[in-house]
Chain A
Amino acid sequence: MENDTDNIIEVRDLVVKYGDRTVLDGINLDVKRGEVFVILGGSGCGKSTLLRNLVGLMRPYSGQILFNGRDFTKMNDEERVETRKKMGMCFQGSALFNSMTVGDNVALALREHTDLEASTIDIMTKIKLELVGLGGFESFMPAELSGGMMKRAGLARAMAMDPHIIFYDEPSAGLDPIVGAGLDMLIRKMQSTFNLTSVVVTHEMESVKLIADRIVMLDKGKVIGLGTLEEIKNIDHPFIEQFFARRPDAEGEDTAAYLESLTNSE
């Protein structure tokens, strides 16, 4: 049933609302197989909401999200589980299960979704942890790891089922530049080694320069630019210009606009 088009994800006219408030307004985009696709935008522009819709943690108000050509929003529970086995996600706070060791975190999906022998799962767990530079940390608890290591462990867990695509929510947020850059290199390495499609939500320009093949730029729930970094930079749009120039809003404008967006229902 799999449709091997060039696009692993196609989003068509996606509208997402919180109550009466429209957060994403008619999003259209494609993610090509094997690329690093960055979702870029200011705080509160809807990029995390877009990511949550892509992985199916939220249901959109209208529109389609095609994953390998099939509409993810209309699948029944079993089809969704099957689809999710092909996805991995790295959460902003790593979201490792705190009651389990790092090794158990990585092994969990394998234990639940496959009939592999325990010894095979052990070996696979070790390989995944080696891959992210955490070999030998199987028996550590998540609380014993540093922030960067937790994110790496989260990546190992996301890689456990050999997914086709991996989603990163703010991978370098809260990390120092060196550790953050290390994580960016890791994202790039996963892409080049396994031809793994990556969708990265971020607002850190340094990281975007290192990893992005293509970028979608969001502002106020709409796509304002889609293309390579160079193409985006050349788009004539006040927000893009301001974003790349790292220029602040005029005093007060920001909060006033935010309050208005909260009170304006349509």
Chain B
Amino acid sequence: MSAILGNTGRATLNALYAASTVCVLMVDTLNWMIWQPLRGKGLRVRSVVEHFVEFGVRSMPIVGLICGLIGVIMALQAAHTLEKWGAAALIADLVGISALRELAPLMTAILITGRCGSAITAEIGTMKVAEEIDALNVMGLNPTKFLVVPKFLAMLLAVPCVTVLAMLIMILGGAFAGVVLVGVDPVVYYNQTAGALTRMDLLSGLTKSFFFAVTICWVGVFRGFRVSGGAEGVGRETTSSVVTSILIIIIVDLVWTSLFFSQ
């Protein structure tokens, strides 16, 4: 009995500690991202651009490939059912709305988590193990300003940008399958897509991608700063960074979908 109480208590304390650490990190990041630059303590723009290239541009090939293929798969799966009803043209509606509202933001976020969220944890974790974070502190350089803010800004820019391209490629993938493999008339397919999609679909997907970006970066950074105990610690936190990040992304997705689905 006391063991159960003890474990519950310890788990609660750990969770509260983690939550407080994340909050401190958030406040510190916003401080160095907005308030301090306004006071003339500059942003590291070059570092932001470098990270944007890494998180955004370099993610494009894999995100594009996977989202294109998912578009094809979705169209083929939908064709199987819709053709029975003579409604093959509705493939365009299904692929378009799914891509914009759900699959493009989600797939992009999951892929960028795997590519970059883990890299953020590994980078910060390795720096911590090698005392490089201490070195920054002793040199009077704030690790948040130096390491976190550029990644955070780059992620906020990169994820929505990649998401928009992923949406486009997914719709093109669906169109390829619909037109070439299923045999829907291209003009009909285009008109169906254009008629089905609304500004709200795009907004819903982009809002999600913004929150996914926040999640990927903060989980990555938080896990990175938690690393202790050498190379093994880096590996452990990197793995759990990806798992935690994907879990939170799905939960955020659920919350936003339930808020948006009727609109």
A interface, CB within 8 angstroms of B: 55-57, 80-82, 84-85, 87-89, 91-93, 95-98, 108-109, 112-113, 157, 161
Closest to A52 in B: B134
Closest to A109 in B: B139
Min CB gap B67→A, angstroms: 31
B138–A85 CB distance below 8 A: no
Min CB gap A173→B, angstroms: 13
B255 located at the interface, meaning its Cβ lies under 8 Å from any Cβ of chain A in the complex? no
Proximity string of chain B (114-139) to chain A, C-beta cutoff 8 Å, 1 when within and 0 when not: 00000000000011001110110111
Give the chain A neighbours of B140 by CB distance below 8 A.
Answer: 80-82, 84-85, 109, 112-113
| Pick from A56, A84, A95, A109: contact of B130, CB under 8 Å | A95
Closest to B129 in A: A93
Give the chain B neighbours of A85 by CB distance below 8 A.
Answer: 140
10 A-B residue pairings within 8 Å (CB atoms): A56-B137, A57-B137, A57-B138, A82-B140, A84-B140, A89-B135, A93-B130, A97-B132, A97-B135, A112-B139
Report the separation of the CA atoms of residues A157 and B141 in the bound assembly, to the nearest whole angstrom.
Answer: 13
Min CB gap A63→B, angstroms: 20
A89–B132 CB distance below 8 A: no
B141–A109 CB distance below 8 A: yes
Give the chain B neighbours of A161 by CB distance below 8 A.
Answer: 139
Give the chain A neighbours of B130 by CB distance below 8 A.
Answer: 93, 95, 98
Give the chain B neighbours of A97 by CB distance below 8 A.
Answer: 127, 132, 135
B139–A91 CB distance below 8 A: no
Most buried by B among A57, A80, A95, A97: A95
Min CB gap B154→A, angstroms: 15
Give the chain A neighbours of B138 by CB distance below 8 A.
Answer: 55-57, 84, 87-89
Report the separation of the CA atoms of residues A56 and B141 in the bound assembly, to the nearest whole angstrom.
Answer: 13
Report the separation of the CA atoms of residues A86 and B140 in the bound assembly, to the nearest whole angstrom.
Answer: 10
A95–B139 CB distance below 8 A: no
| Pick from B126, B127, B131, B142: contact of A91, CB under 8 Å | B131
Give the chain A neighbours of B134 by CB distance below 8 A.
Answer: 57, 91, 95
